[in-house]
Amino acid sequence: MRTFAYLVLVALVIAVGVSFATGVIGVAADHPEGKYIVTFTLNLDMICPNITTNSAHGATVEQENLLEFHGKVAAVRAEKNELVVAESLKNWNFELAKNAQIIVNDNAGKLTDIQVGDEAAVSYTRAGQQKMIANVVRVTRK
């Protein structure tokens, strides 16, 4: 029985190592404002390209390559043209497209109008494995 447990453990370690090496699983660490955040990412496109992400986790497929994410604004980095939106346990970094449309409480706005804590819906496209380009950002402030 002990040999079987070791065999299963070794198989699991090898499977996780191969997943990291091939890019199926990713790990990122960030420490904004003195807090350390470690995120684990599972790349569903590499497992099954036809799977759409569940809307309960923030992203749904709207059109062929357009995705939408809902969450709270965690940071606005105007100097880098970036927006960070938080889901329950994960922060998502979005780079704004050159022609990105920003709407704050149903009015046209700009990136500097967005504040931390605002509710945001970001329509975006993926550029590669990690980069997300925001095309439309809709913000509601209470």
Looking at residue 57, what is its pLDDT? 38
Number of residues assigned to the chain = 142
pLDDT at 60: 39
**Does domain 58-142 correspond to CATH entry 2.40.50.320?**
yes
pLDDT digits (tens, 9 = 90+) for 12-27: 888 877 776 776 677 6
Run of H or E residues at 59: strand 59-61
Dump pLDDT digits (tens) for 80-136.
Answer: 999 999 887 788 899 999 888 999 998 889 899 999 999 999 988 888 777 889 999
- Strand, helix or coil for residue 33: helix
The pLDDT of residue 76 is above 90:
yes
Give me the numbers of helices (H) and strands (E) for the chain, helices first please: 2, 9
* CB proximity list for 26: less than 8 A, separation 6 or greater: 20, 40, 41, 43, 129, 130
Name the band, by pLDDT with cuts 50, 70 and 90, for residue 46.
low
Q: Indicate whether this model's pTM tops 0.95.
A: no
- Say if residue 58's pLDDT is above 70: no
Domain boundaries, the chain: 1-51, 58-142
Which is more confident, 104 or 30?
A: 104
Pairing of strands 119-127, 67-77: antiparallel
What is the chain's mean pLDDT, rounded? 79
pLDDT of residue 45: 61
- Name the 3-class secondary structure at 120: strand
